[in-house]
Amino acid sequence: MAARLGYTILYVADVEATVAFYEAAFGLPRKFIHESNLYAEMDTGQTTLSFAGEPMAEMNGLAIRANRKTDVAAGFELALIFHDPEEAYLNAIAAGATPVKPPEHKPWGQIVGYVRDVNGCLVEIASAMPD
Amino acid sequence: MPSRLAQRRAGFREMTLSARYTELSLAAGLGEEVEAVWTSVSDRAASYRVLPDGRCDIILRFDAGQRPITGVTVVVTGPTTRFYDVPIEPGIGFVGLRLRPGWFETVLGFEPAELTNSNLIGAQAIAACPALKCLCAPARDQNELVTSLTAFVRKRAADGRLVLAPLSRSVIGAFHAAGGRLRISDVAQMHAVSARTLQRLVVKATGLTPKALAGILQFHRALRLLRDHRLSPADAAVEAGFSDQAHMSRVIRRMGGFSPARLPDVTLVSLDD
């Protein structure tokens, strides 16, 4: 019984603002925002990146540590692949991302940098793994 | 998709079988200041137990057998830290609107801390917030009361100058999302504010101290884990963040007035999208 990764869902304080940020900072198009403004999906292909409003955690009986820009980042990251990570890094920062580490060449051939998004979540900005 | 949006909001309200409590699906028309709009009609003398949930309601009480409805009494309930029972006479109807945490002052014009563990009934409520008087006007039926109460709150929220500061909203959101499991100092640190500032923000917005708010949220979640998620008391205690099962039992007895082993007929009411 093998599972398939379906969704990565980040709980955020403001779904609409997060979607707008991901569009501007990373160029990811939105798929839709639910009219309640409590849930949205980005157009990320087979595995969906979604944002859920924090009230959804409470509604579903979950307890989470909310992501905040002023807090230490939670123990996970989203890795986004760009053709030009250097340009993507600058663009993300211009759109409001917090710089963490500028892109650098890794021994295995990838270019990798890090920013934090508007909610304080770690986002890796990388080039594709070379063939 | 909305299947992923399971419930708009859920809350515990205990009621006897004779009282019909319904949350109305007005989701599309509700602003962010409104958590739920509900109605309740009792067909015989009953007692209605209200559990502390960190929320405040504006309630219209009326004679359900009368058309048109006259003599509407407006009631504002403050934030509570323990359960209380409301005796209900037969034939009395209620239309209520539960404010989302943090919206009390915006809508009513005074701070919820003034009303902690108490209610304002009729003339007292109107004295505290004169605009509430318009809700006492005669209405054709219950639906008209729902419409006027919803419109009143929406207008007050839109016109309000006492808008909840983004930092307060963020802090309260973090408490709710964590189900009361985070330490007060953690929530303060997450927002880069002092514990004292946090205390002031939370009391102003909710009428409860951060400790009381966290305690209520933890209690509420423990009930959901027991009733809705059907966890064993031992598992629920761990997941809700109590030191042990005995600790959870003590809190449930104190806040709800019952034992976790004998949960009363608590109805999990929810508003589906």
B170 CB near a chain A CB, below 8 Å?
A: yes
Contact A55 B27 (CB under 8 A): no
CA–CA distance, B132 with B146 (Å, rounded to integer): 14
Q: In chain B, which residues have their Cβ closer than 8 Å to the Cβ of A35?
A: 28
B2 CB near a chain A CB, below 8 Å?
A: yes
Residue B150 pLDDT greater than 80, yes or no: yes
B6 CB near a chain A CB, below 8 Å?
A: yes
Q: Structural domain tally of chain A?
A: 1
Q: Read off the pLDDT of residues B99-139 as tens digits, 9 standing for 90 and up.
A: 988 899 999 999 999 998 889 999 999 999 999 999 999 99
B230 CB near a chain A CB, below 8 Å?
A: no
What are the residues facing A78 on neighbouring strands?
A123
Residue B158 pLDDT greater than 70, yes or no: yes
B197 CB near a chain A CB, below 8 Å?
A: no
Q: Does A131 fall in a domain? A: no
Predicted local distance difference test score (pLDDT) of residue B54: 82
Residue A46 pLDDT greater than 70, yes or no: yes
Give the list of residues 6+ apart from residue B204 with CB closer than 8 angstroms, or none: B105, B111, B113, B168
Contact A66 B221 (CB under 8 A): no
Q: Does A2 fall in a domain? A: no
Radius of gyration of chain B (CA): 19
Predicted local distance difference test score (pLDDT) of residue B20: 58
Q: How far is B235 from chain A (nearest CA, A)?
A: 14
Residues 82-111 of A with CB under 8 A from B: none
A3 CB near a chain B CB, below 8 Å?
A: no
B18 CB near a chain A CB, below 8 Å?
A: no
Q: Does A1 fall in a domain? A: no
For residues B82 and A25, the model is more confident at A25
The complex's ipTM works out to 0.83
Asked whether B4 and B255 are in contact (CB, 8 A), the reply is no
**Domains located in chain B, CATH noted:** 2-159 (no CATH), 166-271 (1.10.10.60)
Q: In chain A, which residues have their Cβ closer than 8 Å to the Cβ of B192?
A: 70
Which residues constitute the domain of residue A43? 7-126
Residue B165 pLDDT greater than 70, yes or no: yes
Q: Does A90 fall in a domain? A: yes
Asked whether A57 and A16 are in contact (CB, 8 A), the reply is no
Exposure string (b/e) for B180-193, b if CB count within 10 Å is 16 or more? bbbebeebbbbbeb
**What is the CA B204 to chain-centroid distance, rounded?**
17
B241 CB near a chain A CB, below 8 Å?
A: yes
Q: Does A102 fall in a domain? A: yes
Top mean-pLDDT range of A122-126, B18-22, B265-269:
A122-126
Contact B7 A61 (CB under 8 A): no
Predicted local distance difference test score (pLDDT) of residue B229: 86
* Cross-chain CB nearest to A71 (options B7, B28, B189): B189
Among the listed residues B211, B224, B202, B142, the one whose alpha carbon sits nearest the alpha carbon of residue B182: B211
Predicted local distance difference test score (pLDDT) of residue B65: 85
Q: Give residue B29's pLDDT band: very low, low, confident or very high (50, 70, 90).
A: low
Residue B170 pLDDT greater than 60, yes or no: yes
Predicted local distance difference test score (pLDDT) of residue B3: 36
Average pLDDT over residues B191-206: 95
Contact A68 B191 (CB under 8 A): yes
Q: Does A89 fall in a domain? A: yes
A56 CB near a chain B CB, below 8 Å?
A: yes
Q: Give residue B1's pLDDT band: very low, low, confident or very high (50, 70, 90).
A: very low
Q: Give residue B87's pLDDT band: very low, low, confident or very high (50, 70, 90).
A: confident
Predicted local distance difference test score (pLDDT) of residue B25: 58
Exposure string (b/e) for B130-160, b if CB count within 10 Å is 16 or more? eebeebbeebeebeebbbbbbebbbebbeeb
Predicted local distance difference test score (pLDDT) of residue A21: 98
Residue A28 pLDDT greater than 80, yes or no: yes
Among chain A residues, the shortest Cα distance to B220 is held by: A61
In which residue are the tokens 């963490």 written?
A100
CA–CA distance, B98 with B270 (Å, rounded to integer): 13
Predicted local distance difference test score (pLDDT) of residue B265: 60
Q: In chain A, which residues have their Cβ closer than 8 Å to the Cβ of B12?
A: none
In which residue are the tokens 């739920």 written?
B36
For residues B161 and A116, the model is more confident at A116
Residue B242 pLDDT greater than 70, yes or no: yes
B221 CB near a chain A CB, below 8 Å?
A: yes
Predicted local distance difference test score (pLDDT) of residue A131: 83
Among the listed residues B139, B152, B153, the one whose alpha carbon sits nearest the alpha carbon of residue B62: B139
pTM, full prediction: 0.84
Q: How far is A58 from chain B (nearest CA, A)?
A: 6
Q: Does A14 fall in a domain? A: yes
Give Cα separations from A42 to A20, A48, A93, A124, B2 (angstroms): 10, 7, 20, 17, 15
Predicted local distance difference test score (pLDDT) of residue A86: 97
Predicted local distance difference test score (pLDDT) of residue A36: 86
For residues B216 and B44, the model is more confident at B216
In a mutational test of the A interface, the residue from B30, B34, B35, B170 whose CB has the highest number of chain A CBs within 10 Å is B170
DSSP conformational letter for B139? B
Asked whether B213 and B251 are in contact (CB, 8 A), the reply is no
Give the list of residues 6+ apart from residue B245 with CB closer than 8 angstroms, or none: B233, B234, B237
Q: Does A80 fall in a domain? A: yes
Q: Read off the pLDDT of residues A50-84 as tens digits, 9 standing for 90 and up.
A: 999 998 998 889 999 999 998 989 999 999 999 99
Arithmetic mean of pLDDT over chain B? 84
Which range among B11-15, B92-96, B112-116, B180-184 shows the weakest confidence by mean pLDDT?
A: B11-15
Residue B48 pLDDT greater than 90, yes or no: no
Q: In chain B, which residues have their Cβ closer than 8 Å to the Cβ of A54?
A: 173-174, 176-177
Residue B244 pLDDT greater than 80, yes or no: yes
Q: Which CATH number characterizes residue A105's domain?
A: 3.10.180.10
